[in-house]
Amino acid sequence: MPRGTKVPAEIAAVCEANVDVALIEKHWDSLVHLAASVMSGHASAVAALARFGSAAQGDPIYEAGVQLGRLLRTAFLADYFVKDAFRNELRRVLNRGEAVNALKRAIYTGRISPAQAKRVDEMQAVADALSLMANIVMAWNTSQMQAVLDRWSNRRQVIPPELIGKIAPTRLESINLRGVFRFPVDRYADQILPSRPNASITGTNG
């Protein structure tokens, strides 16, 4: 809470009046200028953090940023505790993110050998491949969900939009993640092996 503010007895045990609003006001223009530089691309976020990060303790702009962060966290916590709709929506978003992580854990199987994923580009490739597979699953689920909604709409069964917004395409019950994938290589032989357009290539299992 801002300094000088009397803390109500009901929340005194978990609150401190230690936000220096005067310091924020004094350096507000500098904070806005710094944010505008990052947003406009004149300075990267990495450069801004390197210049005004924790290593810049004692710098007036850094200290003003710390106070602003405390003020914003205070406003966020106040909204979280007193606004039911805000709290429920935040929980829904967090649960949605955790559902995506659970989906990725279900897709990923086995372990990467010590000889793999040592370099940054290799680790990035593994992470990107897993994200791609998760996105494919969610895209398929979304198309199936939309097909069901379309059928219900044709039957004049109205589904409230607020209910649809709570359904995430991260379920796995209808997907066999441990099945056999068949790739019709022969269908694309000319594109895959242009130097052997007449080669006879059979389907490959993976």
**Residue 88 and residue 69 share a domain:** no
**Residue 168 and residue 91 share a domain:** yes
**Residue 74 and residue 17 share a domain:** yes
The residue among 58, 82, 106 that closes a domain is: 82
Please give the residue range of the domain that contains residue 97. 84-178
**Residue 100 and residue 63 share a domain:** no
Q: Read off the pLDDT of each residue in 167-194 and give the average, rounded to a whole number.
A: 78
Helix residue ranges per DSSP H, the chain = 21-26, 28-40, 45-52, 60-82, 84-107, 120-154, 161-164, 189-192
Q: Given a cut of 80, is residue 112 above it in pLDDT?
A: no
**Residue 88 and residue 75 share a domain:** no
Q: Say how many domains are in the chain.
A: 2
**Residue 172 and residue 93 share a domain:** yes
Q: Residue 197: which residues within 8 A CB-CB, separation 6 or more?
A: 189, 190
Instruction: Evaluate whether residue 191 is within a structural domain.
Output: no
Confidence band (pLDDT; 50, 70, 90) for 206? very low
Whole-Å CA distances, 65 to 2, 33, 48, 78: 14, 12, 12, 20
**Residue 64 and residue 104 share a domain:** no
Which pair of tokens denotes residue 94?
């967090």
Where is average pLDDT lowest: 15-19, 20-24, 138-142, 190-194?
Answer: 190-194
Confidence band (pLDDT; 50, 70, 90) for 2? low
Smallest CA-to-CA distance from 73 within 1, 134, 138 is with 1
The residue among 82, 117, 144 that closes a domain is: 82
Where is average pLDDT lowest: 57-71, 104-118, 191-205?
Answer: 191-205
Instruction: Evaluate whether residue 42 is within a structural domain.
Output: yes
**Residue 152 and residue 97 share a domain:** yes
Q: Residue 12: which residues within 8 A CB-CB, separation 6 or more?
A: none
